[in-house]
């Protein structure tokens, strides 16, 4: 189920949401290596550049737990040997560290603006635009910006909590976007969302309640699995954080609506 648009008008432009989308697209198109956005099979050199970029700037669970950048041995074990849990509790002090100046905690924030493919960024940005504009409108621009970052950070830490030894980079805005979706579920469950659905190869685009679309999306995360390469726990945690924030802030939203009318 792919949302196309919602029948839920806003009172003011979603400037913060647009800026986040612009930042993600700008980073993807202008900063990240070409392997991420290649429509053809990337060359070995492009793949190496992409891997190096991810390890230099993206969050890695092992780095956060150990509070240090990965060693070359750990990266090699991950990318060459396929050991995604190559975190060493006591690394050799003489081991070469490719990116010694990396701030592993700042990387949590940076990761929220990185994406692995066109499909990855397109999916996140579509969901963010459809659901984010209403949340920003009712939450306020400043509060929405803070909430978005918090949702992304909490989502990443939740992924780290279940992948303590993981040496695979975590990238994408999915956790933060999931937080936005969680708030939308609480505040606008009855809003109608035009949704693209495929029945075998036949496309349909019915208008479905937001609660149904978001509930199906949330449940589907539990069927992804750890071996899929998708940080599904980050999605779940971000969504739950959004639901909790939505419940806490629901009274304030109703007050704002009364003031507007």
Domain boundaries, the chain: 2-260
Per-residue pLDDT of 182-233, as tens digits, reads: 999 999 999 999 888 766 555 566 788 999 999 999 998 888 766 566 788 9
- pLDDT tier, 44 (very low <50, low <70, confident <90, very high otherwise): confident
Q: What is the pLDDT of residue 95?
A: 85
Query: What is the average pLDDT score of the chain?
Result: 89
Task: Copy the structure tokens of residue 175.
Answer: 């956790």
- Report how far residue 41's alpha carbon sits from residue 31's, in angstroms, rounded to the nearest whole number: 20
Task: Copy the structure tokens of residue 247.
Answer: 């419940």
Per-residue pLDDT of 153-186, as tens digits, reads: 999 999 999 999 999 999 999 999 999 999 999 9
Burial 63-93 (b: 16+ CB within 10 A, else e): bbbbeebbbeebbebbbeeeebebbbeebee
Taking the CA atoms of 51, 109, 118 and 181 in sequence, report the sign of the dihedral they define. Answer: positive
- Report how far residue 80's alpha carbon sits from residue 49's, in angstroms, rounded to the nearest whole number: 15
Higher pLDDT, 74 or 44: 74
Cα dist. 180→15, 30, 43 in Å?
Answer: 15, 26, 36
Q: What is the pLDDT of residue 46?
A: 87
Average pLDDT over residues 3-23: 94
Question: At residue 259, does pLDDT exceed 90?
Answer: no
- pLDDT tier, 39 (very low <50, low <70, confident <90, very high otherwise): confident
Looking at residue 59, the DSSP 8-state letter turns out to be B
Tally: H helices and E strands in the chain: 10, 4
Lowest mean pLDDT among 74-78, 222-226, 233-237: 222-226
Cα dist. 141→31, 138, 145, 191 in Å?
Answer: 26, 9, 6, 21
CB 209 within 8 A of CB 190: yes
Q: What is the pLDDT of residue 98?
A: 94
Instruction: Give φ, ψ of 200 to 5 degrees.
Output: 55, -110
Lowest mean pLDDT among 71-75, 93-97, 148-152: 93-97
Architecture (CATH level 2) of domain 2-260: Up-down Bundle (1.20)
Q: What is the pLDDT of residue 257?
A: 58
Q: What is the pLDDT of residue 15?
A: 97
Cα dist. 47→37, 85, 179, 231 in Å?
Answer: 11, 21, 31, 21
| Cβ atoms < 10 Å from Cβ of 124 | 22
Q: What is the pLDDT of residue 226?
A: 60
């Amino acid at each position: 189920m792919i949302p196309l648009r919602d029948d839920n008008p806003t009172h003011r432009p979603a400037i913060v949401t647009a800026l986040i989308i612009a930042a993600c697209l700008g980073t993807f198109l202008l900063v990240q290596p070409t392997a991420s956005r290649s429509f053809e099979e990337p060359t070995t050199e492009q793949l190496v550049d992409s891997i190096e970029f991810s390890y230099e700037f993206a969050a890695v669970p092992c780095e956060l737990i150990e509070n240090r950048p990965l060693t070359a041995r750990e990266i090699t074990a991950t990318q060459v040997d396929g050991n995604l849990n190559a975190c060493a509790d006591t690394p050799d002090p003489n081991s070469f560290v490719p990116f010694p100046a990396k701030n592993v905690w700042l990387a949590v924030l940076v990761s929220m603006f990185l994406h692995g493919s066109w499909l990855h960024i397109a999916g996140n940005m579509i969901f963010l635009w459809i659901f984010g504009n209403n949340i920003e409108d009712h939450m306020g621009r400043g509060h929405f910006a803070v909430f978005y970052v918090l949702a992304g950070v909490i989502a990443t830490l939740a992924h780290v909590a279940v992948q303590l030894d993981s040496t695979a980079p975590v990238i994408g805005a999915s956790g933060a976007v999931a937080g936005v979706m969680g708030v939308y579920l609480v505040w606008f469950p009855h809003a109608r969302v035009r949704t693209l659905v495929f029945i075998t190869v036949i496309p349909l685009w019915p208008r479905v309640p937001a609660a149904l679309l978001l509930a199906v999306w949330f449940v589907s995360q539990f069927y992804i699995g750890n071996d899929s390469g998708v940080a599904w726990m980050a999605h779940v945690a971000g969504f739950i954080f959004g639901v909790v924030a939505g419940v806490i802030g629901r009274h304030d939203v109703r007050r704002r609506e009364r003031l507007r009318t």
